Amino acid sequence: MLVLIALGASPMLGACADGCADRMLTESPSPDGSREAVIFERACGATTGFSTQVSVVDAGRHPTGRGNVFIADTDHGLAPAGPGGGPEVRVRWLGPHTLEVRYHPRARVFQTESRPRGLELRLVADSSVSATT
């Protein structure tokens, strides 16, 4: 019962048409306030693990579908799991159009096909990124 209450109280982004459920983990506004980097957990059923995804969206909007900047999973437990079940990911804006994404080097990173216009992305494999730091 407590598990059901906890799940119901978590900030959900929603269930998608593709059968996946998203749960927001953190939001980080860009220095000029025009965009937000949203880190979220995505679960697509019992046959797949959790993934951690990042989308950059206009301020005040929620991501839809898969991450438009970064997607990673723990590669079957090789990378430590973070708070959402997928690998821990950290973002930091280096300027209004430059986003740094840090992740554990053993995380399995998937390429994304789209990226918000004008965004420079810096991916950094960093062994200090784990659920214990």
Question: What tens digit of pLDDT does each residue of 47-101 get?
Answer: 677 999 999 999 999 998 999 999 999 999 999 999 889 999 999 999 999 999 9
Given a cut of 50, whether residue 4 has pLDDT beyond it is no
Whole-angstrom CA distances from 121 to 15, 34, 66, 96 are 27, 16, 17, 11
Given a cut of 80, whether residue 133 has pLDDT beyond it is no
Whole-angstrom CA distances from 117 to 21, 28, 35, 40, 63 are 26, 18, 11, 21, 15
The pTM of the full predicted model, rounded to 2 decimals, is: 0.82
